[in-house]
Amino acid sequence: MVQVTPASFEILTPIAGDTVLKHIERCGRTCYQSFDKMGEATHTRFAAHIVERHHESVLEHFSISVKFIIDRAIANELTRHRMASFSQESTRYCCYSKDKFKGEITVIRPIEMHPQSKAYQYWFDCMLEIEKTYLKLIELGEKAETARAVLPCCLKTEIVATANLREWRHIFKMRCSDAAHPDIRYIMRQLRDEMKRQIPIVFDDLEDKA
């Protein structure tokens, strides 16, 4: 039976907000040779100054890894961000007929498709047929890398993205916009707000906008 799971994320990098800002300050003050101005609380002012002045190259000195559970279409959008590194679940080597996958495929419901709607039922029935076809191809001796040809764009995938703070800012500006696809906007706004909570200042100026 097809499993439907929600999109989600997990921040893999341990984050201590003040520690991140102190690291950014130590790296950034190399530009000005102003280490003598460092004090107990100067890292917050320094980080704010960096963001306000758009001297964002300094933010590249700290990177964060995030594991996403999203559909493969949205993963394709994420991997367009060139200044990041990605490790993604492979449909060549992951055979969903195996016990570790409970012999079924897992999909992500499109966020704007209401689970009580006729459209959802039609979509879900289609997923059942796709799963049936995929498993039959495996049964007939096809490898997972061949059988994957019938798998849908909404197939669940796990992908780890690692990017520096500057690139995360760029990702949020692009993918939290009202112009972004609803599914990637849904997960990225949650991640942006969580990073705002964990790291002071760096993401505070990023708000929802068209």
Residue 207: what pLDDT? 86
Residue corresponding to tokens 């696809």: 181
Q: How confident is the model at residue 43 (pLDDT cuts 50, 70, 90)?
A: very high
Question: CB neighbours (10 Å) of residue 4?
Answer: 16
The average pLDDT across 35-45 equals 92
Cα–Cα distances (Å) from 170 to 53, 66, 165, in that order, read 16, 15, 9
The average pLDDT across 60-81 equals 97
pTM, rounded to two decimals: 0.94
Domain ranges of the chain: 1-14+62-210
User: Domain 1-14+62-210 is of which CATH architecture?
Assistant: 2-Layer Sandwich (3.30)
The DSSP output letter for 192 is: H
By residue count, the chain amounts to: 210
d(C-alpha 21, C-alpha 23), whole Å: 5
Tokens standing for 205?
């100026």
Residue 12: what pLDDT? 98
The overall average pLDDT reported for the chain is 96
The average pLDDT across 68-81 equals 97
Reported as a single tens digit per residue, the pLDDT across 105-150 is 999 999 999 999 999 999 999 999 999 999 999 999 999 999 999 9
Percentage of the chain surpassing pLDDT 90? Answer: 95
DSSP string, 22-60: HHHHHHHHHHHT-GGG--SSHHHHHHHHHHHTT-GGGGG
The average pLDDT across 176-188 equals 97
C-beta separation of 105 from 53 below 8 A: no
Reported as a single tens digit per residue, the pLDDT across 135-144 is 999 999 999 9
Residue 209: what pLDDT? 64
Q: Flag whether pLDDT at 181 surpasses 70.
A: yes
DSSP H/E element including 3: strand 3-5
Task: Give catalytic residue positions.
Answer: 175
d(C-alpha 38, C-alpha 67), whole Å: 35
Residue 128: what pLDDT? 98
